A and B are shown apart, each in its own frame.
Chain A
Amino acid sequence: DTGVSQDPRHKITKRGQNVTFRCDPISEHNRLYWYRQTLGQGPEFLTYFQNEAQLEKSRLLSDRFSAERPKGSFSTLEIQRTEQGDSAMYLCASSLGAGIYSGNTIYFGEGSWLTVV
C-alpha cells in the first residue's frame, strides 16, 4: 500500500500520560499536515511541514503538542500530559506541492483515534 499510513490506529490512555503518533506520508510528497477531527466536525488544522521544516502551527495548538519531521519523511505528533479534551481522531495528510498556489490534492491517512480516560 502506497498511501499515507498512521500508527497506532487506536490509543486509549489515562489522563496525564504522554502519547505519540506516527505518520508515514506518500513517499514523494514533500508536504505533511496534521489535523484533528472530533465527531460531527470537520478536520481542524494543527500543523504543517514542508520537507523537515515546520512552517505553520495553529494558534489552537497548545504547548503540550509537538510535532517533528526530522528527515523530511515520516512525522511524529506528541501530546504531553493528555487531557480528556484531547480525545479525537488525529489525521495525517500529505501532498506534493510545487509552490504556494499549486493547491495539490491532499491525501489523508486512516487516522489515529485517541481516547483519554
Chain B
Amino acid sequence: GQQVMQIPQYQHVQEGEDFTTYCNSSTTLSNIQWYKQRPGGHPVFLIQLVKSGEVKKQKRLTFQFGEAKKNSSLHITATQTTDVGTYFCAGRDYGQNFVFGPGTRLSVLP
C-alpha cells in the first residue's frame, strides 16, 4: 500500500534559523496536504498542493510539490517560537483517503 515518509523525525533550531522538512511517497500523488499539530492539540490544515512543481508561500512558509508528484517540502524562514509543533504531510493517491507521514517535530530555542 501507499507509504508516506518524512525526514527528519526531529529538528531543533535556534530562533531565527531556517527549517525544512521533506516528505516522500511510495506512489504518485494526486495531491498533498500539510498540517501542523501543536503539543496536545489536533492537526490543523496549512495548505494543499495539486500541480506538479507547484510552489506556494504563506508568509514565512514555503511549500513545494515535486515534479514527479511523489515528494514535497515545507521550508520555514527565520523560525519563531510560535512555529513549535509537529508538521505532517498527508498524501492522497487517486483514492479517497489521505495517508499521513510520521511527522517532523520542530522545537525552537529562544
Residues of A within 8 A of B (CB): 33, 35, 40-45, 48, 55-56, 91, 100-101, 103, 105-111
Contacts and interface: CB of A to CB of B under 8 A. Distances in A.
Contact of A106 (B41, B94, B98): B98
Given A45-B98, A56-B97, A108 B92 contact: no
Interface residues of B, number: 24
A101 B102 contact: no
B96 A106 contact: no
12 contacts: A41-B103, A42-B103, A45-B100, A55-B96, A56-B97, A91-B43, A103-B30, A103-B31, A105-B48, A107-B45, A110-B42, A111-B42
B63 interface: no
B44 interface: yes
Interface of B: 4, 30-31, 33, 41-45, 48, 50, 88, 90, 92, 94-103
A105 B92 contact: no
Contacts of A106: 33, 45, 90, 98
B97 A33 contact: yes
A33 B97 CA distance: 9
A16 to B, nearest CB: 29
Contacts of A42: 4, 88, 90, 100-103
Contacts of B41: 110
